[in-house]
Structure 1
Amino acid sequence: MVKNNKRMIDDNIRLVLAMTIIIIVMIILLPFVFLDKNGSSNKFELNNNNIITSSAIQFPKNGKVKLYNSESNSAEEIDLEEYIMGVVASEMPANFNEEALKAQAVAARTFYINRRNNKCSNASSHNAEICDTVHCQVYMDKNKRLSLWNSKDAEKNWNKIEKAVMDTKGQVLTYNGEVLEYPQYFAVSFGKTEEAMDVLSIDIPYLKSTDSKGEEIAPKFKSTKQMSAEEFISEIKKKYPNVDIRTENIKEGIYVEKYNKSGSVNIIKVGGISIKGSEFRKLFNLNSTYFTLDIRDDIVTMSCTGYGHGIGMSQWGANVMGKNGYTYIDILKHYYSGIEVEKLEYN
């Protein structure tokens, strides 16, 4: 009986010691582990360093944006949030709703974080990460932007944008624990956004076609381009010299072969040649791929609805949603399917 009691005491001591060791190890390691909502840790590659992601994605505390200034043909370093202010001020009208401006700030910040990992080809040769043109996203510093606004509204405009950026400080879009690779945005939709597969020929799960209502008030919602049938054919033949199209058969020789899910033109048939809607848009510098052709009296009229590539967030649509009481989170989740808004951790 005494031996049994001694064995039980020894077993209890071993159990206590084992539990103590486990607790000590957990205390040491816990600060270095971040778990996502499902209790598993994810990693995000940032400049070839493994970064643990969850509700916090690490970012250097004193990290700078390495920006290629196309005007001076040189690289400069800027604080992240200062850079985002310059992008929002350049990419979205200051009189837009505050929630739309916040949504734009998060999308722009996400775009930059992706560029840290996938540097812009124009910028990398100058030891920079991202450029200040439409090739990436437009950026103007505060002084330049203020000079282009009406002097009466300039400071008020900048303060409004600064607040929108700081209210979303460090926030980025993620999908399955990773920062979005394609946080695309554009100016005006035609009532819907595009499916990535239809435009980019790759399936991006968070870039699906969705409704985008109320943008009829946008200045570039409707646009028209006219030219003679001869000029139209000449432009086509510059790119497609073997196309069989003449003024005599132009009406019968042009038709839409395939539409996108959104209703825009996927493929247009011209003189026996199939041309992608996006290529046709580029060829004639049209505002969108949601277009119609009307040919009469040897005049070709191309009528467009919307402005931009149509993928991701419509800026005018975001403004409409903000005015209708939706938050920037609502806006972002509407335009980017299945995403989360998470925050950078400055380490």
Structure 2
Amino acid sequence: MSIPIHLKRFFLLILISTSFIIILSLALVGFGEGSGNVVKSIIPRFLMKSNDIAFNENNVGVPKIKVYITKENRVVEMYLEEYVRGVVAAEVPVEFEIEALKAQAVAARTFALAHMEEYGGKKYKSNTGANVCDTVQCQVFTNKDDRLKTWPASKREEYWNKITEAVKDTSGEALVYDGRIIDEPLFFAVSGGKTENALDVFKDNKPYLKSVESPGEEAAPKFKSVVKMSYLEFIKKINAEYSNTDISLLNVRNQIEIKSRNESGSVKEIRLGKTTISGVKFRTIMGLNSTNFKIKFNSSNVEISCTGYGHGVGMSQWGANAMAKQGKNYKEILQHYYSGVEITKMK
């Protein structure tokens, strides 16, 4: 007896569906000992399942740290790893490579430990009693609810799990130099191809904060920037800080001179009439993105073009991401940007 065509199609559909379910199940659980997990070998863990763990005494959260929350004007005590998760969420784009996020997690944790007295550190200077604050005065921190609001609804779980993964996989790890937790694990957004010596920027000769190459950051949104202003505004900004420069509209072109540059290419000293100041100070006066700048005097305005964004000392966040894209792991990234350090699991 022949089977009607519509029944044949029905049975074929069932067969295909069953086969798909069996194959998918095998992929998820593995095809046998030694075969590995096919899907997990391809898809990152933060896409496979929720990693929104609770950091506490039983789950690598200890110790606790006191954080001053500026908008609430109060001190909140939280587990260290929870704090680190909030710093990573605030400080770097979540779209970065996971190894770059791990590097940021270790740097953030190191900063926190360096401000905790039980680890030989000192609280940040304030009258709040907190170890750290949640602004750039320390390092930026945001809580989960506030960060989720900034992400597309369809990406929130994936993104939060990715950050959690970076923190969890580096739990308790910190940067150590000569047997001590480093007290200045500085980082910034974008370099101009090379980081700065701490001595050149902050007059502090930290042995682990030396100038290093940092290529591959050209894709960063603030890699290049330009500030334009009228001659009057330019002179006004200078005179607001230094009244004896004798700079005027008649002589301004001849009274501004870049005297020297650091090995990174950033401006070390610049002459403003009778006064010579640091490139760091000039950056502050003019509101520039970096000290790696050039000045051009146009017919109707002064044009200052910058390369990079931030103070330039320590780890470049976009440089870290470039290294991660090249296959470097977070330890290689950290030991590149922080000279002579070790990554140690704290007890």
- Which TM bucket (shorter chain)? 0.7 to 0.9
Aligned-residue offset at 1:61: 8.0
Residues 120-269 of structure 1 correspond to what in structure 2 (within 5 A)? 120-122=124-126, 125-269=127-271
Distance in 1 (alpha carbons) for counterparts of 2:152 and 2:271: 47
For 1:180-213, what per-residue CA distance to the aligned partner results, in whole angstroms no more than 9, with x for missing partners?
Answer: 1110000000000001110011211111111000
CA contact (8 A) 1:247 1:298 kept: no
**Letter matched to residue 340 of structure 1:** E
Please tell me whether residue 284 in structure 1 is matched to residue 286 in structure 2.
yes
Aligned-residue offset at 1:296: 2.1
Distance in 2 (alpha carbons) for counterparts of 1:262 and 1:145: 34
Question: Structure 1: which 5+ runs fail to align?
Answer: 1-59
Corresponding residue number in structure 2 for 1:325:
327
**Letter matched to residue 281 of structure 2:** E
For 1:151-198, what per-residue CA distance to the aligned partner results, in whole angstroms no more than 9, with x for missing partners?
Answer: 111111010000000000000000000001110000000000001110
3-state SS in 2 of match to 1:311: coil
Corresponding residue number in structure 2 for 1:87:
87
**Letter matched to residue 170 of structure 1:** G
**Letter matched to residue 119 of structure 1:** K
CA contact (8 A) 2:244 2:274 kept: no
Distance in 2 (alpha carbons) for counterparts of 1:232 and 1:224: 14
Distance in 1 (alpha carbons) for counterparts of 2:305 and 2:231: 15
Please tell me whether residue 311 in structure 1 is matched to residue 313 in structure 2.
yes
CA RMSD of aligned residues (A): 1.2
Aligned-residue offset at 1:314: 0.2
Distance in 2 (alpha carbons) for counterparts of 1:336 and 1:107: 10
Corresponding residue number in structure 2 for 1:302:
304
Aligned-residue offset at 1:146: 0.8
Aligned-residue offset at 1:340: 0.3
3-state SS in 2 of match to 1:191: coil
Corresponding residue number in structure 2 for 1:70:
70
Number of equivalenced pairs: 284
Aligned-residue offset at 1:63: 2.5
Aligned-residue offset at 1:216: 0.5
**Letter matched to residue 74 of structure 1:** R
Distance in 1 (alpha carbons) for counterparts of 2:199 and 2:300: 36
3-state SS in 1 of match to 2:72: coil
Distance in 2 (alpha carbons) for counterparts of 1:61 and 1:254: 54
For 1:93-147, what per-residue CA distance to the aligned partner results, in whole angstroms no more than 9, with x for missing partners?
Answer: 100000000000000000011111221123xx22211000111011111111111
**Letter matched to residue 345 of structure 2:** K
Task: Give every structure 1 segment of 4 or more consecutive aligned residues whose post-TM-superposition deviation is greater than 3 Å.
Answer: none
Q: Normalising by structure 1, report the TM-score.
A: 0.80
Question: Structure 2: which 5+ runs fail to align?
Answer: 1-59
CA contact (8 A) 2:62 2:80 kept: no
Aligned-residue offset at 1:261: 1.6
Q: Normalising by structure 2, report the TM-score.
A: 0.80
For 1:10-62, what per-residue CA distance to the aligned partner results, in whole angstroms no more than 9, with x for missing partners?
Answer: xxxxxxxxxxxxxxxxxxxxxxxxxxxxxxxxxxxxxxxxxxxxxxxxxx984
Residues 47-58 of structure 1 correspond to what in structure 2 (within 5 A)? none
User: Relative CO higher for 1 or 2, CA cutoff 8 Å, sep ≥ 6?
Assistant: 1
Distance in 2 (alpha carbons) for counterparts of 1:249 and 1:241: 15
Distance in 1 (alpha carbons) for counterparts of 2:273 and 2:65: 49
Change (3 A) 1:330 1:315: same
**Letter matched to residue 144 of structure 2:** K
